Chain A
Amino acid sequence: VAKQGVISQYFSSL
């Protein structure tokens, strides 16, 4: 089963 990632895993807070 493929798991949906979230965008903050890839882009960090400024």
Chain B
Amino acid sequence: MFEARLVQGSLMKKFMEAIKDLVKEANWDCTGTGISLQAMDTSHVSLVSLLLRSDGFDPYRCDRNISLGINMESMAKIMKCASNDDVITIRSEDHPDNVTFVFESPNQEKVCDYEMKLMDIDSEHLGIPDTEYDAIISMPASEFQRICRDLSNIGDSVKITCNKDGVQFSAQGDTGIGKIALKQNAVIDKEDGQVSIELNDPVSLTFALRYLTFFTKATPLASTVTLSVSAKNPVAVEYRVDDIGYIRYYLAPKIEE
């Protein structure tokens, strides 16, 4: 059988919120390592990859590797039934037709049990190559969310330019141009609020704001986001989640014809 109990159940709710608008259905792959998911959006423009390590659960039991084929909208609806302070347990048999989600209140006075039908999903698994990125930008996740929101008012795309002066996000539309420049800040003792840039080569790439905005749904999961950019390659947007794992998004760039 498979059983994974997450004391901080709100994390599962947040992971769900971070993928449900991007991915319609996906396999949650459960192994001894933990629970992982890889899926593309319906347009195949972006890819999401997440890992919830087994040691983030208490207890975690996986007798046999299984894939839980799940409709995200249905699971999101069920996750909304869990309170933020609930303990969430995911449970299924070795050859499952359905999965059970159990939500326990902290004092265990209330226990909710939701059973959901599984789907047969024939998903394509993509190999993500190791890439030497031209620039790796770390910034507060809330700052990145703000930039995507603000520039969405100006245009459909954002041009990310990274050089020795810092990183610039710019958008262009019928009404004009918006530019947001961030410099690496020198505050050492305030790690969460830092912008840091690891620059190997100056780089400039354009991405669809619609997808980056979907990615920022992961903001409640982490204080920091990392953007890894390389010429003519997808950007990797990573949110590392304390004590359990990560959610990474990849977005193909827009290329000038």
- Interface on A for B, CB 8 Å cutoff? 1-14
Contacts and interface: CB of A to CB of B under 8 A. Distances in A.
Contact of B157 (A2, A7, A8, A13): A2
A9 B127 contact: no
Interface of B: 40, 43-47, 124-129, 157, 206, 208, 233-234, 250-257
B256 A2 contact: yes
A7 B254 contact: no
B45 A7 contact: yes
B161 to A, nearest CB: 15
Given A3-B254, A3-B255, A14-B126, A8 B44 contact: yes
Nearest to A2: B254
A5 B157 CA distance: 13
Contacts of A5: 45, 234, 252-255
A4 B45 contact: yes
Given A10-B252, A11-B47, A3 B257 contact: yes
